[in-house]
Amino acid sequence: MQGLSCREEKILVLVRLRPLSEKEVASSEAADWECINDTTILYRNTLREGSTFPSAYSFDRVFRGDCATRQVYEEGAKEIALSVVNGINSSIFAYGQTSSGKTYTMVGITEYTVADIFDYIHRHEERAFAVKFSAIEIYNEAVRDLLSTDHTPLRLLDDPEKGTVVEKVTEEVLRDWNHLKELLSICEAQRQIGETLLNERSSRSHQIIRLTIESSAREFLGKGNSTTLAASVNFIDLAGSERASQALSAGARLKEGCHINRSLLTLGTVIRKLSKGRHGHINYRDSKLTRILQPCLGGNARTAIICTLSPARSHVEQTRNTLLFACCAK
Ligand code: ADP
Ligand code: MG
């Protein structure tokens, strides 16, 4: 992928445009955005001709509305996600306004990654592997285990070796791809508890699915001198990005808005600093989200951000905000 090396690599910034929904088509929404090649997306609104908005935005890769998630995975996320089998941590984010396609994109990418990880394991019988799955939600800066019916917030602890760890989080040893589907549906059900509208909650909370892969060479197993390779890949379905701008305008009045502001804004600052070369102090500790992800951001960890966009004219302000975030990350 564009000759990116592991260590000095910048953050990979991808943009995915979704198609107009049936509802939008039925209400004669105009689609104002178009991917003109593999790297550039263009704003085309003839009614706004002569406006001062920049109209072309370029990124590592842009995906048109008719691209399948498989293609986004293969060309955008696969290499980064699978570096986990070689002991390299990584994080793949979906950033965008509610209804722009974050969950649609992340679920697909998680499933393709797991399929490829099991495929890799079957082709490398010389090593013994364990794949562990955990899932948490950050809502109001409280961390909740999505695999547990106990909703007591989980604490974050500083481990001298592993860095920040989520205390007592459930880790399931993943058996196969079907097991993943089971676990994902448990998470989905957990997220709905206590909410009348799923969208309401998912637009305000961040979800992190973490796969940790441990492996060791079979010939050394039980001989005391085997070294275990361990790394994690994180799939982060962020709160709707409209929450960042709303929280800014609402000030500190809403507790919830304020916290989402904190996690999303801290992430924004961290990402901007990382993209500028990873020098100086990085404020990972300012939010739960960035604390939890710290071992998988920066250093030699690899990061991709998939910015999801609605093409609809009525969403133009949020679409532009997302693109501005994406520009800061590259
Ligand atoms: P978000 O998680 O950002 O709120 P969703 O992933 O739930 O958004 O997507 C909103 C709706 O749009 C869902 O019904 C989803 O199936 C559909 N959708 C999103 N992205 C695409 C896409 N690239 N192609 C087809 N349908 C999509
Ligand atoms: Mg969602």
Identify the pLDDT of residue 196: 53
Candidates 46, 17, 20, 41; CA nearest to 31 is 20
Query: What is the residue with the minimal CA distance to atom 11 of ligand 1?
Result: 99
- Mean pLDDT, residues 127-139 taken together: 96
315 CB under 6 A from ligand 1? no
- Mean pLDDT, residues 197-212 taken together: 82
Number of neighbouring beta carbons within 10 Å of residue 229: 16
Highest-confidence segment of 5-9, 142-146, 215-219, 325-329: 142-146
**CA of 96, closest atom in ligand 1:** 3
Question: Which of 1-15, 98-112, 144-158, 203-217 shows the lowest mean pLDDT across its residues?
Answer: 1-15
Q: Are 257 and 247 in contact (CB under 8 A)?
A: yes
303 CB under 6 A from ligand 1? no
Per-residue model confidence as pLDDT tens digits over 24-33: 999 999 999 9
Domain extents for the chain? Answer: 75-307
Identify the pLDDT of residue 142: 93
Q: What percent of the chain stands above pLDDT 70?
A: 84
Identify the pLDDT of residue 5: 39
Is the per-residue pLDDT at 1 higher than 90?
A: no
Exposure class string for 306-320: b at 16+ Cβ within 10 A, else e:
bbbbbbbbebbebbb
Between the CA of 119 and the centroid of ligand 2 the distance, in Å, is 28
* CATH class of the structural domain 75-307: alpha beta
Instruction: Give the residue, out of 15, 18, 25, with the most ligand 1 atoms within 8 A of its beta carbon, to mutate for a pocket test.
Output: 18
206 CB under 6 A from ligand 1? no
177 CB under 6 A from ligand 1? no
Per-residue model confidence as pLDDT tens digits over 46-98: 566 566 566 899 999 999 999 999 999 999 999 999 999 999 999 999 999 99
